[in-house]
Chain A
Amino acid sequence: MVAGSRPTSCRNYRCWIERLNHITESKTLKFALEKTTEDMEQQIIRETFHLVSKRDENVCNFLEGGLLIGGSDNKLIYRHYATLYFVFCVDSSESELGILDLIQVFVETLDKCFENVCELDLIFHVDKVHNILAEMVMGGMVLETNMNEIITQVDAQNKMEKSEAGIAGAPARAVSAVKNMNLPEIPRNINIGDISIKVPNLPSFK
């Protein structure tokens, strides 16, 4: 069971965290049974980030999280792409290598959906990232692993959203386009944040 998955990214020692999934699996995280306070979540994220970020490039992608993530049954599994960390917290019912592949699928899907995903995409479109993740992981359990299927569903939903917005949505879109255009910050950042996602071949896994 995937307990919570939050890709995190970091720049300038300031932790930028897009937390993608609420700590949905209440059983693996003890405190989630009671009210999970925002503070607690933040603490988990901080600590996770602390753990993950200090790891070298060539070490294994598994971390025994300790008490914070709910005991010895749980593991942190992460992948690191340029400035982004994708961290999943899973319990022993998931295959470790399987989850690594799942992260790969997730990133590839993001890449397809955003057309060359970069860090800023994820930061500015948290909601979309959430929606994509919702097609893959549901309530802490892996829902779909087939990338094409995921993309089909995400696209269909986006199409629906567009058709609903219709003409009324047009001015809003125009304004936001203008807003984006006027800001010099964007292009600069893209250079920094642009990640070249290497897509290693994993022929073994479907």
Chain B
Amino acid sequence: MALKMVKGSIDRIFDKNLQDLVRGVRSHREDEAKYISSCIDEIKQELKQDNIAVKANAVCKLTYLQMLGYDISWAAFNIVEVMSSSKFTYKRIGYLAASQCFHDGTDVIMLTTNQIRKDLSSPNQYDTGVALTGLSCFVTPDLARDLANDIMTLMSHTKPYIRKKAVLIMYKVFLKYPESLRPAFPRLKEKLDDPDPGVQSAAVNVICELARRNPRNYLSLAPLFFKLMTSSTNNWVLIKIIKLFGALTPLEPRLGKKLIEPLTNLIHSTSAMSLLYECVNTVIAVLISLSSGMPNHSASIQLCVQKLRILIEDSDQNLKYLGLLAMSKILKTHPKSVQSHKDLVLQCLDDKDESIRLRALDLLYGMVSKKNLMEIVKKLMVHVDKAEGTTYRDELLTKIIDICSQSNYQYITNFEWYISILVELTRLEGTRHGHLIASQMLDVAVRVKAIRGFAVVQMATLLDNTTLLAGSGQHKSICEVLYAAAWICGEFSEHLEDPVHTLEAMLRPKVATLPGHIQAIYIQNAAKLFAAVLNGQQGTPDCQTMQESSQLLIDRLPLFVQSADLEVQERASCILQLVKFIQKLQHKEVEVGEEVTALFAGELNPVAPKAQKKVPVPDGLDLDAWINEPPSESESEDEKPVAVFAEEELRHARPHHTEVDEKELARRREARKQEQANNPFYIKASPTSQKGYQDSTGVEHIPVVQIDLSVPLKVPGMSTSDKYLKLEEERRQRERKERGKKEKKKKKKREKRSGMGRRHDSGPESEEDIAPAHMVDIVTEEMPENALSSDDDEKDPNDPYRALDVDLDKLGTGNPQRPLADSEKLPVRAHRPTNILKSPADDGEVQEVPKEPKKKSKKEKRDKEEERKKSKEEKQRRKHHHEARKGPEGGPPTGEPIQSSYNAELEPALPTAAPVEASDPDFWLSSTLLSSKSQETTEATPGPIPEKAADVGPGSEPENTKSSKHKKKKQKKDKEKEEKKRKKQHGHSGDREGEESVQNGTLEEEPLPPMSNYSLLAENSYVKMVCDIQGNLQNGSQVVVSIIFENKSTSFLKSMEFNVLDSLNSKLQRPEGSGPHDGLTVPFQLPPGVSNEARFIFSVQSIVMPQRLKGTLTFIVKADDSSTHEKLDFKLHFTCSSYLITTPCYSDTFAKLLESADLKGTSVRLQEVSLPFHHLLAKICFHHHFSVVERIDSCASLYSRSIQGHHVCLLVKYAHQTVTIDAKCDESSLLGNVLEEIKKTFSQS
């Protein structure tokens, strides 16, 4: 045995190790594959040996090969072997290999569960660490379920190294096993307060990641994060939190209001660019959420835009890029403020960096107006010509089209110009966006009637131009344009100058090289053209042209009859026969023109793409039932194309009509006409309605305005778009002149008419108003009256994050709906998700047990409800679908905009979704900024308000106390007038905010007195200091003093220096290198009337005694002409309460604590306290950092912990205006002092 060992170890020396392998691969560049296959053979041999070291070496090499792209999954079992080695060295190699090559489908993963569990509980922290790291890469749903409990335990490991990894990996576990989220969440939340910054940051990381996907569920954590944001100094954490707030603000506008101030401060004070950038980003998000009616935020926008401008102008390309990125977000809501930086954006368009150019392009989208559209597009066209690399050019192309077509071609004043631009774009080689151009052409030609003539001429030129045809082989996409061109020429053939010529162009043999669907369109439209030719020649004595064109068709079509494409073949043969028949008739000199034209008669009307889908099914209409008689074949045929029509966007679907057999088409047209004639809602195409504005309400399409022919319509040949720029200029000048004249006239008129109600002519004079040359039939807004919004349920059902959409607010102790006991175990291996709910019974917590079924049933109910909802939705959707399929093609012809009915539909749904979640931040948000701490105190309990928290103690019914009544009333109100209340609260919190900057501790009001821990520190005529003293959550010997400096004078305060005389026990923490008596510079300056907050950290040795520290603030007062040096003395009072930290405690733990003998007790009695009990509790909680553990009637237990880990337990009883406080603590002098302070609080009030 020993011999074998020795032999193995000697063998190993001569085995190739990783370095040898790397070297070998590098020296065999020519025959790498061969070399590696020989290496793999060696490795296979090594893996067969018993020696674990040899195996590990082999696996290590395999890992490298995997990185080079070789499949190593065959060695998965060997990897597991190496993973289970007892030596850390090999274990690490094994886990690394596993993390590289294991995935959900690897079957050996099943074998690893126990090994991983063993490693997780290993006494060696690095074994655990390596296992966690590996697991994070290959965790599967099974592993997650089986190991969730073990990882949960690790979250409270003694070593921060393990804690932080365990916290982080929980996210992966949640993803794979969403059921674990609820039980694990309380602990995760606890980790936000972890003393180790790494763990804290990991917890923030995980919660932010969760919240990003389902922000609504995490709204209630906002106060907690707000506190972290104002207390953390770790930039990573700050960035995460600020990003999270960016995701939360859209859900809760009031949160935004609260954030603006601290964020603005951060923007001013921070020197870290990354932090600055994220702050700006979130402020933007806030502003977007507040966008309506907050005039005083224009300063914030200005600030953001300014900062962004600085970023964009920076020479660092990274900052430039990010600046542009953020700018585009502002653009959406505040285009005006961005537009002023147009110069900058245009400049960036010339940047050599493609990423920056792309971002600048995004911005351009919002910069256009009617005035500058042509200029900007011209500039882009120049870029298109210059651009190298098709990706950027394609991007430019789509942007040009986006910019022009945005909001229904709002900015296009001249569609001839636009058509020319589109035609120019077709000359681009190798673009991928042929169909985009094509669909634009179709769209414009169909919707802008006045442009059809011009468009047809242009399209005819395109068809005639053979370059597109020639290139069709390589550049597949661009020939899509021909599809549009052919269709437009065919459909609007009456505008063609020389239809015969175009007909000839469409039937060239080369056309056969085009893709099938385009050929089909060619043939179909050749037939239309033919019809037009016949019709045009009708009545003229000379019938030669007619016969020529029939002959042309008969000559050319056989080529297409032989086409491999079925569609082409079918159409060609059908039309060929038709033409032959017509030719026969022609020989007999029968007039056929009209009949042939009738094949294609009827006009296409544009309809909104979603119009059909949104028609609700009327009650009692069963769409599945047959209306008349069992199906005939023709009917089922009929349905198919219509279904296509409903599902696709109309624009693309429109041409599909022509694909139907033409007789069928004619039949359907006839039917439709009939139907329209009978439909009272359909506005018939009477000549009058086409011409002028009719004031009928249900105008189906806004009639086309007659073009003011200031631009000559006829443009010979291929036009270039440039000339339109000039023309536009001229036209504008002319108009200006005319307007000048008109104005005078109008003025007179208006004087006459004043007082006669609406002024009809005020519109055209608004600054941007340039009379467009053509009007668009605006159809996207056109919807049937009571249509439903179907956009909302377009969520991707496969979204993996949906599973994590769990309501977490109901977690916590004492809540009647409480689903989980704090000690509840996550399901261990045997457990199935459905069993989770049973586990609290295992804990032996009797009082919890009866609640379980209740909760369960509730949950079930909810589930059922959801199900019902879903099925309902589905039904509805199906119904829509049917409706869409059956509905008439012409679309429901009502002109009512849809928006109003949307809202009506959605409104009632809101309250049911919101109430619980909303209630939490509700309180926090509407209360003062500083009392966020009182929310803190009760965070363990679900209620946000102290009294509510107290109410929900297990023994008491909520109806018992006044406060709950109050609350009930409030809830009722909520339901009654949600809307109103919201508004009210807006105003309310707005008012409060005004007071926040001032000290608001004095503000008392009946239901809940606003409280502030900020107490006056010192004040003189220049400056006022209020301070709040808090124990540092992360460091047992630190106290954080937040001081708000307020400039009361009218001059500028600068160079503020804060200094404190250290005592033996307490010292101000100064930066390294400064002496023990040096002051700290306050990191900001104060303009008149401004206040700002700074934080100072003190290290404290003993916390059992209160302390006073003397300090001085020196500063320079800068008036207009002079500056003086001033100082202000103050005394910092560290109370013992400030060493306490609000810590949630569960009642069972609390009971155990009291039972243990380490705590010493004392009691105190307060006489003549006239406060209601819940006020009293709130006060203790707030000012002395306690949390309510349990409350029964007028008796409550409270808990807190000092920064050095002393437990403080209180039992507060209240009777006849006398309060008795029995207290226990493991440090009696601390307790004595805390009680003393509590006494003082009440004697003051």
**Do B322 and A38 touch (CB < 8 A)?**
no
Known: A149-B198, A171-B9, A204-B272. A93 touches B93 (CB 8 A): no
Chain A residues with CB under 8 A of B13: 171-172, 175
A130 CA to B136 CA, complexed, in Å: 14
**10 A-B contact pairs sorted by A residue (CB < 8 Å):** A35-B104, A63-B355, A95-B243, A124-B23, A138-B132, A143-B164, A144-B198, A168-B9, A204-B271, A204-B272
Contact of A27 (CB < 8 Å), options: B66, B69, B100, B800: B800
Chain B residues with CB under 8 A of A41: 69
Chain B residues 63 to 110 lying within 8 A of chain A, measured CB to CB, are 63-64, 66-71, 87-89, 92-93, 96, 99-101, 103-105
**Do A98 and B239 touch (CB < 8 A)?**
yes
**Do A205 and B272 touch (CB < 8 A)?**
yes
**Do B136 and A161 touch (CB < 8 A)?**
no
For A66, the closest partner residue in chain B by CB is B391
Known: A38-B70, A171-B13. A139 touches B168 (CB 8 A): yes
Interface size on A, residues (CB 8 A): 68
Closest 4 A/B residue pairs (Cβ): A139-B136, A97-B274, A60-B317, A59-B353
**Do B137 and A206 touch (CB < 8 A)?**
no
A205 CA to B235 CA, complexed, in Å: 7
Q: A165 near B: Cβ within 8 Å?
A: yes
**Do A131 and B92 touch (CB < 8 A)?**
yes
Seen from chain B, the residues whose Cβ lies within 8 Å of a Cβ on chain A are 9-10, 12-14, 17-20, 22-23, 26-27, 29, 60, 63-64, 66-71, 87-89, 92-93, 96, 99-101, 103-105, 124, 126, 129-130, 132-133, 136-137, 139, 161, 164-165, 168-169, 171-172, 175, 198, 201-202, 205-206, 208-209, 212, 234-236, 239, 243, 270-275, 277-278, 316-318, 320-322, 352-356, 358, 800-801
**Do A206 and B355 touch (CB < 8 A)?**
no
**Do B126 and A95 touch (CB < 8 A)?**
no
Seen from chain A, the residues whose Cβ lies within 8 Å of a Cβ on chain B are 1, 14, 17-19, 22, 24, 27, 35-39, 41-42, 56, 58-64, 93, 95-98, 100-101, 123-127, 130-131, 134, 138-146, 149, 153, 156-157, 160-161, 164-165, 168, 171-172, 175-176, 179-180, 183, 185, 203-206
Known: A97-B273, A98-B274, A143-B164. A160 touches B126 (CB 8 A): yes
Nearest CB of B to A94, in Å: 9
Nearest CB of A to B27, in Å: 8
**Do A127 and B93 touch (CB < 8 A)?**
yes
**Do A62 and B137 touch (CB < 8 A)?**
no
For B124, the closest partner residue in chain A by CB is A160
Contact of B318 (CB < 8 Å), options: A96, A160, A165: A96
**Do B274 and A38 touch (CB < 8 A)?**
no
A186 CA to B131 CA, complexed, in Å: 35
**Do B171 and A141 touch (CB < 8 A)?**
yes
Known: A165-B89, A185-B23, A204-B272. A14 touches B352 (CB 8 A): no
Known: A64-B355, A149-B198, A160-B88. A124 touches B96 (CB 8 A): no
**Do A131 and B353 touch (CB < 8 A)?**
no
**Do A60 and B356 touch (CB < 8 A)?**
yes
**Do B355 and A157 touch (CB < 8 A)?**
no
Chain A residues with CB under 8 A of B126: 156-157, 160
Nearest CB of B to A80, in Å: 12
For B134, the closest partner residue in chain A by CB is A134
A130 CA to B98 CA, complexed, in Å: 13
Chain A residues with CB under 8 A of B270: 204
Chain A residues with CB under 8 A of B103: 35-36
Known: A22-B137, A61-B318. A141 touches B69 (CB 8 A): no
Chain A residues with CB under 8 A of B89: 160-161, 164-165
A56 CA to B27 CA, complexed, in Å: 31
For A60, the closest partner residue in chain B by CB is B317
**Do A59 and B92 touch (CB < 8 A)?**
no
Count of chain A to chain B residue pairs whose CB atoms are closer than 8 Å in the complex: 187
**Do B20 and A172 touch (CB < 8 A)?**
no
Known: A42-B69, A138-B165, A180-B19. A126 touches B318 (CB 8 A): no
Known: A149-B198, A172-B12, A175-B14. A161 touches B208 (CB 8 A): no
Chain A residues with CB under 8 A of B317: 58-61
A51 CA to B318 CA, complexed, in Å: 17
A157 CA to B14 CA, complexed, in Å: 26
**Do B234 and A206 touch (CB < 8 A)?**
yes
Chain B residues with CB under 8 A of A176: 17, 19
**Do A62 and B355 touch (CB < 8 A)?**
yes
Nearest CB of B to A59, in Å: 4
A123 CA to B130 CA, complexed, in Å: 22
Q: A176-B19, A204-B273 are in contact. List 18 more A-B contacts (CB 8 A).
A: A1-B209, A22-B99, A24-B137, A41-B69, A58-B352, A62-B322, A64-B355, A96-B277, A124-B19, A125-B18, A134-B130, A138-B132, A139-B139, A139-B172, A146-B198, A164-B87, A183-B23, A185-B26
Chain A residues with CB under 8 A of B234: 206
Chain A residues with CB under 8 A of B23: 124, 183, 185
Chain B residues with CB under 8 A of A36: 103
**Do B205 and A126 touch (CB < 8 A)?**
no
Nearest CB of A to B135, in Å: 8
Chain A residues with CB under 8 A of B101: 22
Chain B residues with CB under 8 A of A126: 18, 22, 63-64, 67
Chain A residues with CB under 8 A of B354: 59
Chain B residues with CB under 8 A of A97: 273-274, 277, 318, 322
Chain B residues with CB under 8 A of A141: 168, 171, 202, 205-206, 209
**Do B67 and A96 touch (CB < 8 A)?**
no
**Do A27 and B212 touch (CB < 8 A)?**
no
**Do B69 and A38 touch (CB < 8 A)?**
yes
Chain B residues with CB under 8 A of A1: 209
Chain B residues with CB under 8 A of A63: 355
Nearest CB of A to B68, in Å: 8
**Do A24 and B99 touch (CB < 8 A)?**
yes
Nearest CB of A to B241, in Å: 11
A109 CA to B798 CA, complexed, in Å: 40
**Do B277 and A95 touch (CB < 8 A)?**
yes
Chain B residues with CB under 8 A of A37: 71
**Do B358 and A64 touch (CB < 8 A)?**
yes
Nearest CB of A to B246, in Å: 10
